[in-house]
Structure 1
Amino acid sequence: MPDSSKEIAVLASVQGAIATPAVIKASRGMSFFGEHSLGWLAVGAVGAVVDRERRGDWLVATSAVFAAHAASVVVKRVVRRTRPDHETVEVHVGTPSKLSFPSAHATSTTAAAVLYGGLTGRRLSTVLVPPMLLSRMVLGVHYPSDVVAGSVLGAAIGGIVRRKLNGRKGRHERQSGRGD
């Protein structure tokens, strides 16, 4: 793990720079949305209902978002790093556990951005991931390395599944004569 005193300094700096009441309120909303990846699972379910032609892909992507979240929880239980606890860091939200590394919110958000972005044809990672990562630090519940590691884990899982979905799409197009 990186030097926690340096990470505490970064965390306190982030809070000092942007933790206004409005930002804290928005961060709490994001925290609620991302808790146990439920918001992202709901988005995937809506995608599966609305995009009937690719319902199977949406269900695979949604399952992968949940799997990314679960992988993050497993890593947390192995690493057992506790959340920031320092007088310079204010905690603005409750958490379901005292474990910090990696951020499950960062993991599931990044996986959702990669996978749902692939299904919608939009670059969602640049829009969704940075605010969620910052929100975890604004709320005082994660070190910077927690959110970076969570995002890397989510990107890896999302990228693997997205490649498989794209490969499956190519096979279907070739089989139907549309891929040439």
Structure 2
Amino acid sequence: MQILQAVQATVGARPQAIAIARSMSHFGEHALGWAAIGGVGALVDRRRRRQWAGVAVGAVGAHAASIVVKRIVRRPRPDDPTVAVNVSTPSRLSFPSSHATSTTAAAVLLGRLTGLPLPAVLVPPMLLSRLVLGVHYPTDVLAGAALGAVSAAAVVRAEKKFGER
């Protein structure tokens, strides 16, 4: 709880940080933003259509995996008067962060596709945003990132196994 409170007292004390975090939250909701990027990439880049589709499938699949884990673990979201909740959520379950999960999967897969260090650029801000918004504990976002990385690895294995024949 202390880390969450410290993040909110520093970064979360700035209105523009909350506005950015909310925008990121809406983009990542149900992995829809990542699925859209994968879908558009698949439409425009015919040569790498499967890999772009893999980005969309990987992000949505990672999100689905996080929902399964949430329903098993059933950890409630932070509920403390010292923590400001700055965005609405579709459920009261916290562990793991689905935003962290789908963002990590998408970033790994997009990074592999583009050759850019996207996990290092995209994942930390999304993890931080969930704390700024007061909807996750630090362990929620770390577990989400780990689950997202495992999900991306599963997509890469599937692409290698079922790729062009």
Bucket of the pairwise TM-score, normalised by the shorter protein: over 0.9
Whether the 8 Å contact between 1:65 and 1:112 is mirrored in structure 2 is: yes
* 1:82 counterpart residue number: 76
* 2:8 counterpart residue number: 15
* 1:63-106 C-alpha deviation (Å, 9 max, x unpaired): 12111000000100110000000111110000000000000000
Provide the secondary structure at the position in 1 that maps to 2:86: coil
> Is the aligned partner of 1:100 residue 2:108?
no
* 1:52 counterpart residue number: 46
Provide the secondary structure at the position in 2 that maps to 1:90: coil
Q: By how many angstroms is 1:168 displaced? A: 6.2
* 1:127 counterpart residue number: 121
Q: By how many angstroms is 1:166 displaced? A: 5.2
Aligned-partner residue type, residue 107 of structure 1: T
* 1:160 counterpart residue number: 154
Aligned residues: 164
Q: By how many angstroms is 1:121 displaced? A: 1.3
Structure 1 moving runs of 4+ over 4 Å: 166-169
Q: Looking at CA atoms only, which structure, 1 or 2, has the larger radius of gyration? A: 1
Whether the 8 Å contact between 2:34 and 2:55 is mirrored in structure 1 is: no
Q: By how many angstroms is 1:60 displaced? A: 2.6
When the two structures are superposed, what TM-score results if normalisation uses the length of structure 2? 0.94
> Is the aligned partner of 1:113 residue 2:129?
no
In the alignment, the residues of structure 2 paired with residue 31 and residue 68 of structure 1 have an alpha-carbon distance, to the nearest angstrom, of 16
Same amino acid, percent of matched pairs: 58
Deviates more, 1:54-63 or 1:129-138: 54-63
Whether the 8 Å contact between 2:86 and 2:133 is mirrored in structure 1 is: yes
Q: How does 1:1-40 map to 2 (within 5 A)?
A: 8-19=1-12, 20-40=14-34
In the alignment, the residues of structure 2 paired with residue 114 and residue 166 of structure 1 have an alpha-carbon distance, to the nearest angstrom, of 16
Q: By how many angstroms is 1:61 displaced? A: 2.8
When the two structures are superposed, what TM-score results if normalisation uses the length of structure 1? 0.87
* 1:27-53 C-alpha deviation (Å, 9 max, x unpaired): 000000000000000010111012110
* 2:131 counterpart residue number: 137
In the alignment, the residues of structure 2 paired with residue 45 and residue 106 of structure 1 have an alpha-carbon distance, to the nearest angstrom, of 20
> Is the aligned partner of 1:73 residue 2:67?
yes
Whether the 8 Å contact between 1:118 and 1:162 is mirrored in structure 2 is: no
